[in-house]
Amino acid sequence: MNAPVPTVFTVFAPHFDAELGIARFGYALGDLHFEERLAFPPGWNAENAHTEAFGRILNLTALVLGVSYFKLLAPFTISAPTIGLTPSERAFILDIYENGLGEFYARNGLKRFGQIALETPDAAAAPVPAPKLAARTLLPIGGGKDSLVSVQLLESAEIPFTPFAVNPKGPILTSIEKIGLPPLYVTRTLDPEMIRLSGTPGFYNGHVPSTAINSMIASLVALLYSYDRIILSNERSASEGNVVFDGREANHQHSKSLDFERLIAGVLSDATGGGLGYFSLLRPFSEARIAAIFARETRFDRVFSSCNRNFRLSGHDGPLWCGNCPKCHFVFLILAPAMEKPRLLGIFGRNLLDDADKEAAYRELTGLAGQKPWECVGEILEAAACLYRLSEQAEWADDVIVSRLKGDLLTHYGRPALERAYEELMADSPDHLVPSSLASRMGLDAA
């Protein structure tokens, strides 16, 4: 693409229509104007929409949702003339536009770190009155194994929750049907002009921090329908990045990382006078450990999918698992040591580890070639340790990928490192923000 014309990205004051339950977010990029909309389901508390806390969260949401429009030209200045920010809110928004878009910059060769000016008025860091929120849990559901493991854990601890999703489709809908609890759904409508322009000559395209976006929408829901905590299902493996670019680690999953969780939890708490909690229940766990917990139950086997092809805005009419993307390859690999082989083959409809065409893909996942794929996959050493473990199991050892990679894994990492890594994957990390009362009910090490 030719060098874009430098310009300013403007974020206008958002508006929530408390009669219709619709929030509108306006943006400008030079002469281009965009509007994104959120439609909330019936039952919102109009009184809560008039609280200072709701106004603060709505403003922050406007800035976070702005990434989709900003990325068309990625200018150096973001201006929000009507949105006052405290110092910690400013740091949070800059983190979204710098690290949340890290993959986008790295893949487009754009250097923006430390160079983005965020022009907004200052807001006093004075305490915000806490809105009245019921002691209830909102649980975002992504249709994959992670949020369903949170379902399993909350159910075992007898903690009630409400499933929540933005633009639910495919595996999200079928998983929530299996959960059997009434959900809350928000309809998000991106400006179609932004989607049309994305990647056309003169405009960039790329990844946006979707968990940050869904989390802000969840926060609005928490205030409107009275929930005092949002429980995410982000694993500890999500904190590992993909490549170093422009002096920083770019992480496809930045908004699922522990650093991001700390930032957003602090900002949401401050903006609601301490009223709203936010943490990930799965932070102590590796992906491999999550797979082992998932495997304890068969209830979601035919309805869940971690394959992101299901979640494209335009829909998807292919199989639940495409079998050809890094996420399918990775999830197959980590479920393999955790469940009976026929069960796993039933879920995926084929054996991805006995397909010679996938050798290059598994070499990338396990660190034997290339770089960690730009997808929601676990740590490189995690994938290597799981593949090595399979090579020690009779039912997997002769499968083509397992037998071909075993020797290279041993040469590259050494047996003791691979064995130790698998043990560590199964141990809980104390590095999490799960409140101590819940952590002790779940038998986790204290934060």
Ligand X SMILES: Nc1ncnc2c1ncn2[C@@H]1O[C@H](COP(=O)(O)OP(=O)(O)OP(=O)(O)O)[C@@H](O)[C@H]1O
Ligand Y SMILES: CC(=O)N[C@H]1[C@@H](OP(=O)(O)OP(=O)(O)OC[C@H]2O[C@@H](n3ccc(=O)[nH]c3=O)[C@H](O)[C@@H]2O)O[C@H](CO)[C@@H](O)[C@@H]1O[C@H](C)C(=O)N[C@@H](C)C(=O)N[C@@H](CCC(=O)O)C(=O)O
Binding residues for ligand Y (CB under 6 A):
68, 190, 195, 198, 205-211, 213, 252-256, 308, 311-314, 376
DSSP 10: E
Name every residue whose Cβ is closer than 8 Å to that of residue 415 and which is 6 or more positions away in sequence. 388
The footprint of ligand X on this chain (CB under 6 A) covers a number of residues equal to 21
Q: What is the DSSP string of 163-209?
A: EEEES--HHHHHHHHHHTS--EEEEEE--HHHHHHTTSTT-------
CB of 225 to ligand X, least distance (A): 14
Shortest separation between residue 273's beta carbon and ligand Y, angstroms: 27
In this complex, which beta carbon is closest to ligand Y, that of residue 241 or of residue 367? 241
Mark 168-207 with x for binding to ligand X (rule: CB under 6 A) and - for no binding.
----x-----------------------------------
Q: How far is the CB of 231 from ligand X (least distance, A)?
A: 8
Q: Are 286 and 379 in contact (CB under 8 A)?
A: yes
Report angle CA 423, 429, 430 to the nearest 5 degrees.
Answer: 150
Q: Determine if 98 is a binding residue for ligand X (CB under 6 A).
A: no
Each residue 126-165 as x (binds ligand X by CB under 6 A) or -, in order, gives --------------xxxxxxxx----------------xx
3-class DSSP assignment, residue 123: coil
Is residue 376 involved in binding ligand X (CB under 6 A)?
yes
- Closer residue to ligand Y (CB): 86 or 308: 308
Choice between 80 and 218, CB closer to ligand X? 218
Which of ligand X, ligand Y, none is residue 213 near (CB under 5 to 8 Å by kind)? ligand Y
The item of ligand Y, ligand X, none sharing an interface with residue 226, based on CB under 5 to 8 Å by kind, is none
Whole-angstrom CA distances from 97 to 92, 256, 307, 368, 400 are 9, 15, 26, 32, 43
Q: Are 4 and 74 in contact (CB under 8 A)?
A: yes
Using CA atoms, how far apart are residues 423 and 445, in angstroms rounded to an integer?
17
Q: Burial-class residue 207 by CB neighbours within 10 Å (0-12, 13-18, 19+).
A: buried
254 touches, from ligand Y, ligand X, none (C-beta below 5 to 8 Å by class): ligand Y
**Binding ligand X by CB under 6 A: which of 232, 276, 292, 352?**
232
Shortest Å, Cβ 131 to ligand X: 22
Rounded-to-10 torsion of CA 321, 350, 334, 412? -120
Element (H, E) at 39: strand 32-39
Question: Of 13, 106, 109, which Cα lies nearest the Cα of 66?
Answer: 13
Which of 56, 256, 389, 432 binds ligand X (CB under 6 A)? It is 256
The listed partner (ligand Y, ligand X, none) that binds 209, CB under 5 to 8 Å by sort, is ligand Y
Q: Which residue has the CB atom at the shortest distance from ligand Y?
A: 376
Query: Does 391 sit near ligand X (CB under 6 A)?
Result: no
* Residue in 59, 68, 137, 211 binding ligand X, rule: CB under 6 A: 211
DSSP state of 76: S
* By the rule CB under 6 A, 432 interacts with ligand X: no
Choose the one of ligand X, ligand Y, none that binds residue 143, judging by a C-beta under 5 to 8 angstroms depending on kind: ligand X
- DSSP label at residue 402: H
User: How many whole angstroms separate alpha carbon 174 and alpha carbon 161?
Assistant: 17
| Closest-approach residue to ligand X (CB) | 144
Span interacting with ligand X, options 17-25, 229-237, 402-410, 425-433, rule CB under 6 A: 229-237
DSSP-derived secondary structure letter, 383 = H
The contact set with ligand X (CB under 6 A) reads 140-147, 164-167, 172, 211, 214, 232-234, 256, 306, 376
